[in-house]
Copies of this chain bind each other. A is one copy, B any other.
Amino acid sequence: MKRPTVGVIGGMGPQATAEFYRRLVAMTPARGDDEHLHVLIDSDPSIPSRQDALAGRGKSPLARLIIVARRLESAGATCLAMPCNTAHAWYKELQEAVSIPIINMIEETVHVIRHTPSSPQELGVLATHGALHAELYEKAFGDGGPRLCVPDPEQCQEIMDAVAGVKAGSLIGRRQVAAVARSMLDRGADAILVGCTEVSLLIQPDDVEAEVIDSMSVLARATVSHILALTRALA
Protein backbone atom coordinates (compact mmCIF):
# COMPACT_ATOMS: atom_id res chain seq x y z
CA MET A 1 0.00 0.00 0.00
CA LYS A 2 1.14 3.50 -0.84
CA ARG A 3 1.76 5.89 2.04
CA PRO A 4 -1.29 8.16 2.50
CA THR A 5 -0.30 11.45 0.90
CA VAL A 6 -2.32 14.53 0.10
CA GLY A 7 -1.67 16.37 -3.13
CA VAL A 8 -2.71 20.01 -3.18
CA ILE A 9 -3.76 21.56 -6.49
CA GLY A 10 -2.51 25.04 -5.67
CA GLY A 11 -1.91 28.46 -7.07
CA MET A 12 -5.55 29.57 -7.13
CA GLY A 13 -4.28 31.81 -5.69
CA PRO A 14 -0.86 31.22 -4.17
CA GLN A 15 -1.54 33.09 -0.92
CA ALA A 16 -4.72 31.07 -0.41
CA THR A 17 -2.74 27.88 -1.00
CA ALA A 18 -0.16 28.96 1.58
CA GLU A 19 -2.90 29.67 4.11
CA PHE A 20 -4.59 26.33 3.33
CA TYR A 21 -1.31 24.53 3.98
CA ARG A 22 -0.83 26.47 7.23
CA ARG A 23 -4.29 25.39 8.41
CA LEU A 24 -3.65 21.79 7.33
CA VAL A 25 -0.53 21.74 9.52
CA ALA A 26 -2.27 23.50 12.42
CA MET A 27 -5.18 21.03 12.36
CA THR A 28 -2.95 17.95 12.36
CA PRO A 29 -2.64 16.41 15.83
CA ALA A 30 1.14 15.94 15.77
CA ARG A 31 3.75 15.99 18.52
CA GLY A 32 6.67 16.30 16.12
CA ASP A 33 7.67 16.44 12.45
CA ASP A 34 7.22 12.68 12.02
CA GLU A 35 3.52 12.75 12.99
CA HIS A 36 2.56 15.33 10.36
CA LEU A 37 0.97 14.47 7.02
CA HIS A 38 2.89 13.84 3.85
CA VAL A 39 1.87 16.80 1.69
CA LEU A 40 2.72 17.53 -1.93
CA ILE A 41 1.78 20.97 -3.25
CA ASP A 42 1.83 22.05 -6.86
CA SER A 43 1.22 25.78 -7.05
CA ASP A 44 0.99 26.37 -10.78
CA PRO A 45 0.54 29.96 -11.99
CA SER A 46 -0.30 28.83 -15.52
CA ILE A 47 -3.78 27.55 -14.65
CA PRO A 48 -6.06 29.83 -16.71
CA SER A 49 -8.36 32.19 -14.82
CA ARG A 50 -11.51 30.44 -13.61
CA GLN A 51 -13.33 33.76 -13.56
CA ASP A 52 -12.54 34.55 -17.18
CA ALA A 53 -13.52 31.07 -18.32
CA LEU A 54 -16.89 31.15 -16.53
CA ALA A 55 -17.57 34.63 -17.89
CA GLY A 56 -16.95 33.32 -21.42
CA ARG A 57 -13.89 35.51 -22.02
CA GLY A 58 -11.04 33.03 -21.46
CA LYS A 59 -10.08 29.44 -22.06
CA SER A 60 -11.08 26.64 -19.72
CA PRO A 61 -8.65 25.80 -16.91
CA LEU A 62 -9.58 22.11 -17.13
CA ALA A 63 -6.69 20.90 -19.31
CA ARG A 64 -4.13 22.51 -16.99
CA LEU A 65 -5.93 21.31 -13.85
CA ILE A 66 -5.70 17.77 -15.22
CA ILE A 67 -1.94 18.15 -15.83
CA VAL A 68 -1.42 19.35 -12.24
CA ALA A 69 -3.63 16.64 -10.76
CA ARG A 70 -1.86 13.90 -12.72
CA ARG A 71 1.57 15.29 -11.81
CA LEU A 72 0.60 15.09 -8.13
CA GLU A 73 -0.73 11.57 -8.61
CA SER A 74 2.52 10.52 -10.33
CA ALA A 75 4.55 12.05 -7.49
CA GLY A 76 2.75 9.83 -4.97
CA ALA A 77 -0.44 11.60 -3.89
CA THR A 78 -3.19 9.20 -2.77
CA CYS A 79 -5.86 11.91 -2.60
CA LEU A 80 -6.18 15.48 -3.84
CA ALA A 81 -7.44 18.73 -2.33
CA MET A 82 -8.10 21.86 -4.38
CA PRO A 83 -8.41 24.97 -2.17
CA CYS A 84 -10.36 27.05 -4.70
CA ASN A 85 -14.15 27.06 -4.68
CA THR A 86 -14.58 28.34 -8.23
CA ALA A 87 -12.34 25.63 -9.70
CA HIS A 88 -14.89 23.11 -8.42
CA ALA A 89 -17.02 24.10 -11.42
CA TRP A 90 -14.76 21.55 -13.22
CA TYR A 91 -14.73 19.04 -10.36
CA LYS A 92 -16.55 16.22 -12.17
CA GLU A 93 -14.34 16.23 -15.26
CA LEU A 94 -11.19 16.58 -13.15
CA GLN A 95 -12.18 13.67 -10.91
CA GLU A 96 -12.78 11.52 -13.99
CA ALA A 97 -9.24 12.29 -15.21
CA VAL A 98 -7.42 10.84 -12.18
CA SER A 99 -7.69 7.56 -10.32
CA ILE A 100 -7.36 9.00 -6.80
CA PRO A 101 -10.18 10.78 -4.94
CA ILE A 102 -10.43 14.57 -4.98
CA ILE A 103 -11.92 15.75 -1.70
CA ASN A 104 -14.86 17.90 -2.77
CA MET A 105 -14.64 21.24 -0.97
CA ILE A 106 -18.18 22.26 -1.86
CA GLU A 107 -19.79 19.00 -0.75
CA GLU A 108 -17.74 18.88 2.44
CA THR A 109 -18.82 22.43 3.26
CA VAL A 110 -22.49 21.64 2.56
CA HIS A 111 -22.17 18.57 4.79
CA VAL A 112 -20.74 20.67 7.63
CA ILE A 113 -23.51 23.27 7.28
CA ARG A 114 -26.22 20.59 7.27
CA HIS A 115 -24.81 19.28 10.56
CA THR A 116 -24.15 22.63 12.23
CA PRO A 117 -25.98 22.60 15.60
CA SER A 118 -27.27 26.15 15.03
CA SER A 119 -28.98 25.02 11.77
CA PRO A 120 -28.73 28.29 9.84
CA GLN A 121 -31.88 29.08 7.86
CA GLU A 122 -30.33 31.69 5.62
CA LEU A 123 -26.67 31.82 4.62
CA GLY A 124 -24.85 34.92 3.43
CA VAL A 125 -22.51 33.65 0.72
CA LEU A 126 -19.21 35.47 0.22
CA ALA A 127 -18.09 34.25 -3.17
CA THR A 128 -16.76 35.47 -6.49
CA HIS A 129 -18.80 36.14 -9.59
CA GLY A 130 -17.65 32.89 -11.18
CA ALA A 131 -18.62 30.69 -8.24
CA LEU A 132 -22.00 32.41 -7.94
CA HIS A 133 -22.61 32.15 -11.67
CA ALA A 134 -21.81 28.41 -11.57
CA GLU A 135 -24.27 28.05 -8.64
CA LEU A 136 -21.88 25.64 -6.93
CA TYR A 137 -23.50 25.87 -3.51
CA GLU A 138 -27.09 26.06 -4.82
CA LYS A 139 -26.59 22.80 -6.73
CA ALA A 140 -24.80 21.08 -3.83
CA PHE A 141 -27.58 21.95 -1.37
CA GLY A 142 -30.30 20.99 -3.83
CA ASP A 143 -33.78 21.23 -2.37
CA GLY A 144 -34.25 21.61 1.35
CA GLY A 145 -31.03 23.49 2.14
CA PRO A 146 -30.87 26.90 3.80
CA ARG A 147 -31.82 29.95 1.72
CA LEU A 148 -28.74 31.52 0.13
CA CYS A 149 -28.29 35.25 0.33
CA VAL A 150 -25.87 36.26 -2.42
CA PRO A 151 -24.11 39.60 -2.93
CA ASP A 152 -25.83 42.17 -5.13
CA PRO A 153 -23.86 43.29 -8.23
CA GLU A 154 -22.16 46.16 -6.42
CA GLN A 155 -21.18 43.95 -3.47
CA CYS A 156 -20.00 41.27 -5.88
CA GLN A 157 -17.68 43.80 -7.49
CA GLU A 158 -16.34 44.75 -4.04
CA ILE A 159 -15.58 41.08 -3.35
CA MET A 160 -13.92 40.70 -6.76
CA ASP A 161 -11.72 43.74 -6.08
CA ALA A 162 -10.81 42.45 -2.61
CA VAL A 163 -9.93 39.02 -4.06
CA ALA A 164 -7.80 40.60 -6.80
CA GLY A 165 -6.00 42.49 -4.02
CA VAL A 166 -5.11 39.24 -2.23
CA LYS A 167 -3.76 37.74 -5.44
CA ALA A 168 -1.52 40.81 -5.73
CA GLY A 169 -0.38 40.50 -2.10
CA SER A 170 -2.67 43.00 -0.39
CA LEU A 171 -5.29 42.47 2.32
CA ILE A 172 -6.68 45.95 1.78
CA GLY A 173 -10.17 44.59 1.02
CA ARG A 174 -10.82 43.44 4.60
CA ARG A 175 -13.12 46.31 5.48
CA GLN A 176 -15.22 45.96 2.32
CA VAL A 177 -15.66 42.22 2.78
CA ALA A 178 -16.70 42.64 6.41
CA ALA A 179 -19.20 45.31 5.34
CA VAL A 180 -20.74 42.98 2.74
CA ALA A 181 -21.04 40.22 5.34
CA ARG A 182 -22.70 42.56 7.84
CA SER A 183 -25.12 43.82 5.23
CA MET A 184 -26.16 40.20 4.52
CA LEU A 185 -26.84 39.66 8.21
CA ASP A 186 -28.93 42.86 8.19
CA ARG A 187 -30.91 41.45 5.27
CA GLY A 188 -31.78 38.30 7.24
CA ALA A 189 -28.86 35.89 6.96
CA ASP A 190 -28.09 34.12 10.23
CA ALA A 191 -24.67 32.76 9.26
CA ILE A 192 -21.89 33.54 6.76
CA LEU A 193 -20.44 31.05 4.31
CA VAL A 194 -16.93 31.93 3.12
CA GLY A 195 -17.11 30.45 -0.35
CA CYS A 196 -13.83 31.77 -1.76
CA THR A 197 -10.38 30.91 -0.42
CA GLU A 198 -9.09 34.45 -0.94
CA VAL A 199 -11.95 35.72 1.20
CA SER A 200 -10.75 33.28 3.89
CA LEU A 201 -7.69 35.51 4.17
CA LEU A 202 -9.80 38.66 4.43
CA ILE A 203 -12.42 37.81 7.00
CA GLN A 204 -11.82 37.25 10.70
CA PRO A 205 -14.32 35.53 13.00
CA ASP A 206 -14.65 38.76 15.00
CA ASP A 207 -15.64 40.79 11.93
CA VAL A 208 -19.27 39.72 12.15
CA GLU A 209 -21.60 38.79 14.98
CA ALA A 210 -22.70 35.49 13.51
CA GLU A 211 -21.36 32.05 12.81
CA VAL A 212 -18.79 31.95 9.99
CA ILE A 213 -18.38 28.70 8.07
CA ASP A 214 -15.15 28.86 6.11
CA SER A 215 -14.85 26.44 3.18
CA MET A 216 -11.05 26.55 3.39
CA SER A 217 -11.05 25.36 6.99
CA VAL A 218 -13.66 22.73 6.15
CA LEU A 219 -11.46 21.37 3.36
CA ALA A 220 -8.37 21.38 5.60
CA ARG A 221 -10.21 19.49 8.34
CA ALA A 222 -11.70 16.98 5.88
CA THR A 223 -8.25 16.39 4.37
CA VAL A 224 -6.62 15.74 7.74
CA SER A 225 -9.46 13.33 8.67
CA HIS A 226 -9.17 11.50 5.35
CA ILE A 227 -5.41 10.94 5.66
CA LEU A 228 -5.51 10.03 9.37
CA ALA A 229 -8.31 7.49 8.80
CA LEU A 230 -6.25 5.85 6.04
CA THR A 231 -3.11 5.90 8.18
CA ARG A 232 -4.96 4.22 11.07
CA ALA A 233 -6.43 1.61 8.71
CA LEU A 234 -2.92 0.73 7.52
CA ALA A 235 -1.38 0.60 11.02
Q: Which of A17, A21, A28, A42 neighbours the largest number of chain B CB atoms within 10 Å of its CB? A: A21
**Which residues of B are found within 8 Å of A41, using beta-carbon distances?**
21, 39-41, 43
Give, as a whole number of angstroms, the nearest-CB distance from A34 to chain B. 5
- Size category of the binding interface on chain A: 35 or more
Query: Within 8 Å of chain B (Cβ to Cβ): is A74?
Result: yes
Q: Which residue of B lies closest to A50 (CB)?
A: B33
**Known interface pairs A41-B39, A75-B71; A34-B46 also in contact (CB < 8 Å):** yes
* Interface 1/0 per residue, A194-208 and B, CB below 8 Å: 000000000000000
A228 contacts chain B at the CB level, 8 A cutoff: no
| Interface residues as binary, A1-45 with B (CB distance below 8 Å gives 1, 0 otherwise) | 001000000111111011101100110101111111111111111
Chain A at the B interface: SS class: mixed
* Neighbouring B residues of A31 by C-beta, 8 Å: 167-168
Residue of B nearest to A33 (CB): B13
Q: A residues within 8 Å of B by Cβ?
A: 3, 10-15, 17-19, 21-22, 25-26, 28, 30-47, 49, 71, 74-76, 164, 167-169
